[in-house]
Amino acid sequence: MDQKALIAAIADQVRAQLDGESSGHDWWHIVRVWRMARRIGGSYNVNMLVIELAALLHDIADWKFHDGDEEIGPRTARSMLEKYHVPDQVIQAVTGIIRQISFKGAAGIRSIPSTLEGGIVQDADRLDAIGAIGIARAFAYGGYAGNSMHDPESAPAIHANQEAYRSNRSTTINHFYEKLLLLKERMNTPEAREIALNRHEFLRDYLDRFSKEWDGLA
Ligand code: ADP
Ligand code: NI
């Protein structure tokens, strides 16, 4: 099977599995990450097959919905790729990326992928959490999780550790301070950083406007 056919087959399976998912990891999130990862990857001498497969499979199974089992994603991806006889070297690169890219939340914990391909997929995934789409995803997730949109009496918390981030039930506006506004400093490539700066400005403008409207000033 050639690379194009393999990618198409994996994309079909991911689509079937994630279509209509409502916590922010739906198929269209995958499509955006896939496209952005290809765009950033285009500036580098990288293994584009690894990038595309990792982008497609990076959210195939999330520890947050499987009792914190962090191996569920890499394991699921591996078994899908093995069915297509993908070389083990490629499978290892892809599962390694899936393992490394998820945001662990706590202030001091930064998971920096060990390969450029991983850094690029992580950048693409993080870019989808900021800007206009990031805002939409945050409120969609908040609704899904049953969190309030905003509570002026609850301050944002920077989580001390991963456990605290996982069990966090704060408001969606707090999520901007706990995660979204931190992402521009965490891009791995200059290409992503430039896009992130622009999206970050948009988040800032949005928060200003939100607070003005909240106070009845705009
Ligand atoms: P990733 O796709 O990087 O693994 P997550 O699974 O943590 O990210 O989040 C998926 C989407 O849901 C992101 O856009 C993220 O900002 C949003 N999200 C996650 N946790 C919260 C939260 N507590 N409140 C609002 N949005 C959230
Ligand atoms: Ni994702």
Instruction: Give the domains, in start order, of the chain with CATH numbers.
Output: 3-214 (1.10.3210.50)
Residue 106's pLDDT is what? 47
CB 10 within 8 A of CB 85: no
Q: Is 131 in the pocket of ligand 1 (CB under 6 A)?
A: no
Residue 19's pLDDT is what? 84
Q: Nearest to residue 106, comparing CAs of 182, 212, 208, 10?
A: 182
Which tokens in the block code for residue 78? 């591996």
Q: Which of 98, 154, 175 to probe ligand 1 with, by most ligand atoms within 8 A of CB?
A: 175
Which tokens in the block code for residue 124? 């693409």
Over residues 67-80, the mean pLDDT reads 88
Q: What does pTM read for this prediction?
A: 0.92
Q: Where is 125: in which H helix or E strand?
A: helix 116-127
Buried b vs exposed e over 183-210: b needs ≥16 C-beta within 10 Å? bbebbbbebbbebbeebbeebeeebeeb
Of 15-24, 84-93, 98-107, the range with the highest mean pLDDT is 84-93
Where do we find the tokens 């450029």?
116
Residue 35: how many other CB atoms lie within 10 Å? 11
